């Protein structure tokens, strides 16, 4: 009788586990090759859990055409300080993104106009672009902010900030115009706008593929 009872309980437990795993749980089991210094030593099974994307990070990846966005998070015992740090990190990321975008726009523009001269990677140009980008980012708006209480008593804060895309275009335009003045050549507005549009599309695609 005891054996029948134990067998019945075991079947019920397996069925419950099966239904639990089929009912939307994001825990799965995967088998991977196991490598050591001696090469492939067989396989190992591990559980894997699909990570949820933070709402603020998701908003940064889905920026509308008229905005550039950046995401960051920070952890601290002081929840307000964690938020301040997250904002600072996001601003630094957005400045870096603008610098990369502007540099690519200038290289594209220079290639299309066939104008030789000042390098877009020169120290003076980089300093000017950084300064202008920082000024633009200071006027950013926070479009998303989340705060989490962690089990160790600290807080994690995530934020998404945004600036208008035309503001980044102004930075690229000012830097490119400055170089043209140094070269003593005429600024080609239409060519610049085409270069900016092309590089902005590439920039957005790269952000989504990260």
Angle between helical axes of 79-113 and 165-183 (0-180°, round to 10): 40
Q: Tell me the mean pLDDT in the region 186-200.
A: 91
Spatial separation of the C-alpha atoms in residues 57 and 135, rounded to whole Å = 23
pLDDT of amino acid 183: 78
pLDDT of amino acid 182: 81
Q: Tell me the mean pLDDT in the region 158-168.
A: 95
pLDDT tens digits, one per residue of 42-68? 676 777 777 788 899 999 999 998 999
Please give the full DSSP string across 132-194, using - where no structure is assigned.
Answer: HHHHHHTT-EEEEEEEEE-TTS-EEEEEEEEEEHHHHHHHHHHHHHHHHHHHT----HHHHHH
Among candidates 150, 198, 147, 191, which has minimal Cα distance to 173? Answer: 191
Spatial separation of the C-alpha atoms in residues 147 and 87, rounded to whole Å = 13
Which residue did the predictor score with more confidence, 184 or 91?
A: 91
In whole angstroms, what separates CA 103 from the centre of its chain? Answer: 19
For the chain, the domains span 2-49, 55-209
Write out the two tokens for 4. 């029948």
């Amino acid at each position: 009788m005891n054996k029948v009872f134990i067998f019945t309980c075991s079947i019920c437990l397996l069925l419950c586990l099966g239904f639990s795993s089929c009912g939307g749980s994001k825990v799965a089991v995967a088998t991977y090759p196991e490598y050591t210094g001696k090469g492939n030593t067989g396989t190992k099974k591990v559980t894997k859990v699909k990570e949820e994307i933070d709402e603020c990070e998701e908003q940064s990846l889905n920026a509308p055409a008229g905005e550039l966005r950046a995401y960051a998070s920070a952890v601290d015992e002081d929840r307000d300080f964690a938020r301040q740090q997250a904002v600072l990190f996001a601003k630094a990321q957005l400045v870096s993104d603008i610098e990369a975008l502007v540099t690519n726009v200038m290289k594209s523009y220079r290639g299309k106009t066939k104008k030789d001269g000042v390098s877009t990677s020169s120290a003076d140009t980089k300093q000017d672009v950084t300064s202008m980008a920082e000024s633009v980012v200071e006027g950013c708006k926070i479009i998303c902010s989340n705060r989490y209480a962690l089990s160790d008593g600290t807080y994690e804060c995530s934020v998404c900030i945004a600036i208008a895309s035309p503001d980044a275009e102004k930075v690229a335009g000012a830097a490119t115009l400055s170089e043209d003045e140094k070269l003593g050549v005429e600024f080609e507005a239409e060519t610049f706008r085409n270069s900016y549009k092309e590089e902005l599309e590439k920039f957005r695609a790269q952000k989504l593929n990260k």
